[in-house]
């Protein structure tokens, strides 16, 4: 398996990932919804692969009125949902199917959530993260801010009506990523994955993709 220095961008598959969360006072954010969406060959958004699941927060964690107003998610939606431990295990299985790179808007947020489950999910822990904020700052450096809607507006991409839900946010992030790559390639063709990583990768505690032994990765789950 080629490392990122030799790996072609066109041969790379990405997983766009987004968590909706609730943040209890004095505690880290707890995921209540996960969305994932695949991008094949660096530019083909695989909408059929898009998946979304509710996540039941730990006992005693309640949604506020603001949480429900922003996302539309209610506590009733979460009653019979799988736990975050179960969902991370499934996501780990997805990451074992092929050598993905994660894409997220403000990727450190998603990476920090995943890092709490890294010890028991080796595939998940080793998957690199691309941040669309870093990529956008490189391509369109003069925006007033780099919120998802601001970047979308600058690229003339329509934001979905159900923003702040995991899958719609994944779709918007994927469209932004593909558009930014199109702009880069009009300036100078980007060939290797490493070129993209140098611009937009965030470093995580466990981001050692090159050291992965793919023959040990066994997929047991599918979201």
The structural domains of the chain, ordered by start, are 9-207 (3.30.420.10)
**Count of CB atoms situated within 10 Å of the CB of 53:** 18
Nearest to 20 by CA among 47, 57, 46, 50: 57
> What is the C-alpha to C-alpha distance for residues 193 and 13, in angstroms, rounded to an integer?
10
pLDDT band of residue 216 (cuts 50, 70, 90) is very low
Residue 89 near residue 221 (C-beta atoms within 8 A): yes
Reply yes or no on whether the pLDDT at 20 is more than 70.
yes
Summarize pLDDT for 26-56 with one digit per residue, the tens.
889 999 999 999 999 878 999 999 999 999 9
The residue ranking higher by pLDDT, 217 or 156, is 156
Structure tokens at 94: 């997805």
Strand 129-131 versus strand 44-54 pairing type: unpaired
Summarize pLDDT for 67-99 with one digit per residue, the tens.
999 999 999 999 999 999 999 999 999 999 989
Distance separating the N- and C-terminal Cα atoms of the chain: 26
Summarize pLDDT for 5-15 with one digit per residue, the tens.
678 999 999 99
> What is the C-alpha to C-alpha distance for residues 20 and 18, in angstroms, rounded to an integer?
7
The angle at the Cα of 6, spanning 8 to 9, to the nearest 5 degrees, equals 15
């Amino acid at each position: 398996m080629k490392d990122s220095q030799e790996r072609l961008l066109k041969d790379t598959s990405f997983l766009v990932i987004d968590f909706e969360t609730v943040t209890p006072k004095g505690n880290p954010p707890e995921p209540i919804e996960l969305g994932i969406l695949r991008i094949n060959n660096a530019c083909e958004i695989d909408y059929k692969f898009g998946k979304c699941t509710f996540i039941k927060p730990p006992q005693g964690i309640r949604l506020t009125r603001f949480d429900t107003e922003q996302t539309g998610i209610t506590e009733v939606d979460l009653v019979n949902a799988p736990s975050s431990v179960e969902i991370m295990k499934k996501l780990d299985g997805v990451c074992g199917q092929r050598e993905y790179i994660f894409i997220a808007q403000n990727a450190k947020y998603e990476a920090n959530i995943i890092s709490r489950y890294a010890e028991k999910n080796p595939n998940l822990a080793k998957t690199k993260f691309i941040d669309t904020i870093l990529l956008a700052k490189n391509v369109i450096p003069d925006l007033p801010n780099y919120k998802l809607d601001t970047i979308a507006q600058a690229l003339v991409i329509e934001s979905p009506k159900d923003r702040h839900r995991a899958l719609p946010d994944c779709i918007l992030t994927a469209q932004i990523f593909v558009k930014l790559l199109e702009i880069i390639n009009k300036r100078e063709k980007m060939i290797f994955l490493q070129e993209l990583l140098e611009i937009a990768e965030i470093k995580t505690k466990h981001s050692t993709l090159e050291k992965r032994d793919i023959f040990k990765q066994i997929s047991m789950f599918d979201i």
